[in-house]
Amino acid sequence: MNSAFRTVALVGRYQSEGVGETLAEIAAMLRSRGVHLLLESETADAIACSHAERATIDQIGARADLAVALGGDGTMLGLARSLACYQVPLVGINHGRLGFVTDIALTQWRGALASILDGEYDSEDRSLLTARVLRGEQEVWRQLAMNDVVVSRSSRAGMIELQVHVDGVYMYNQRADGLIVATPTGSTAYALSANGPILHPGLEGLVLVPVAPQALSNRPIALPDSARVAIRVVDGREPRVAGDMQVFSDLQIGDDIIVERAPFKAHFLHPAGYSYFATLRSKLNWHELPILSRP
């Protein structure tokens, strides 16, 4: 069979129970379509596939026309951060719990993936953030984030005080457990649990969401995604910064965390007919009517 993609990479959350068997089935299906299959090196170790070429993430970025991720949202976020600069389109098959960005259900992967390989799909671009930590004049940490950049206290410490500037203009000082800078993709992650708004992924914006602020009048605010957000650690014990809650760095008093839009976007492919609102209904249970108590 012909495919709209000539070289396809497969990456899986190989540590999870049951993933190896599904990865092998996906690999067999891709080979049957006549595509050249690249298996991410650690994924290849997990399924012991001798009929596919092993490849590093950088090799996948340089050579693949499409990358398929099997796992949860964390797997997809990590792959998006690694491949966005190469502009490799991504497809996510959910083998996790929630599946906001790995939107193909595990029970439906065969039909959905076949349609995408046939060229029948919807596509969208998702923004990413770059975060840098400046200690004086020295850059001590840099990270890409697809969901969010979070400056927070450790679990053993009290509130931290942060000073925020947007595009060089003073915004506020606040004491809180932390501050989230989220993309539209990340607005349904940690930011949502901190009472932030949902931003449609088609919006070019970002949102600042305080985590348990001392002043209850401190509310989330949406900003244009061209904004440069500078967060200074003014006070607090054991502050830290995280990208997508997966990559962490310890901070010191006086550190500046600079958050800006990344110069490239992640490119997602979905089965034809994909609806963001259907995802929200499913994942947030919007389709369920409230249960009314009887008098």
Q: How many CB atoms lie within 10 A of CB 251?
A: 24
Gyration radius from the chain CA atoms:
21
C-alpha to C-alpha distances, 11 to 27, 79, 127, nearest whole angstrom: 10, 8, 22
pTM over 0.85: yes
Bigger pLDDT: 48 vs 128: 128
Q: How many helices (DSSP H) and strands (DSSP E) are in the chain?
A: 7, 17
Share of the chain above pLDDT 70, in %: 94
Tell me the CA end-to-end span of the chain in Å, nearest whole number. Answer: 63
pLDDT digits (tens, 9 = 90+) for 136-179: 999 999 999 999 999 999 877 789 999 999 999 999 999 999 99
Nearest 5°: the CA angle 45, 92, 263 is 100
How many angstroms separate the CA atoms of 245 and 105, rounded? Answer: 24
Q: Above 90 in pLDDT, residue 193?
A: yes
pLDDT digits (tens, 9 = 90+) for 55-102: 999 999 999 999 999 998 999 999 999 999 999 999 999 987 777 899
Q: Is 73 a catalytic residue?
A: yes
C-alpha to C-alpha distances, 13 to 49, 73, 250, nearest whole angstrom: 15, 10, 27
Predicted local confidence at residue 291, as pLDDT: 61
The sign one gets for the Cα dihedral 276, 282, 288, 290 is: negative
H or E element: which one contains 260? Answer: strand 256-271
How many angstroms separate the CA atoms of 110 and 30, rounded? Answer: 10
Q: Above 80 in pLDDT, residue 17?
A: no
How many angstroms separate the CA atoms of 91 and 267, rounded? Answer: 9
C-alpha to C-alpha distances, 7 to 66, 96, 115, 183, nearest whole angstrom: 7, 26, 16, 30
Nearest one of 154, 196, 193, 208 to 177, comparing CA atoms: 154
- Residue count of the chain, please give it: 295
Q: Could you give all domains of the chain from N- to C-terminal order, each with its CATH number?
A: 7-119 (3.40.50.10330), 128-263 (2.60.200.30)
Which residues, 6 or more positions from 11, have their beta carbon under 8 angstroms from its beta carbon?
Answer: 40, 43, 57, 60, 67, 68, 69, 70, 71, 75, 79
Q: What average pLDDT does the chain have?
A: 91
The identity of residue 214, as a single letter, is: Q
Among 73, 148, 244, 255, the one annotated catalytic: 73
Q: Above 60 in pLDDT, residue 238?
A: yes
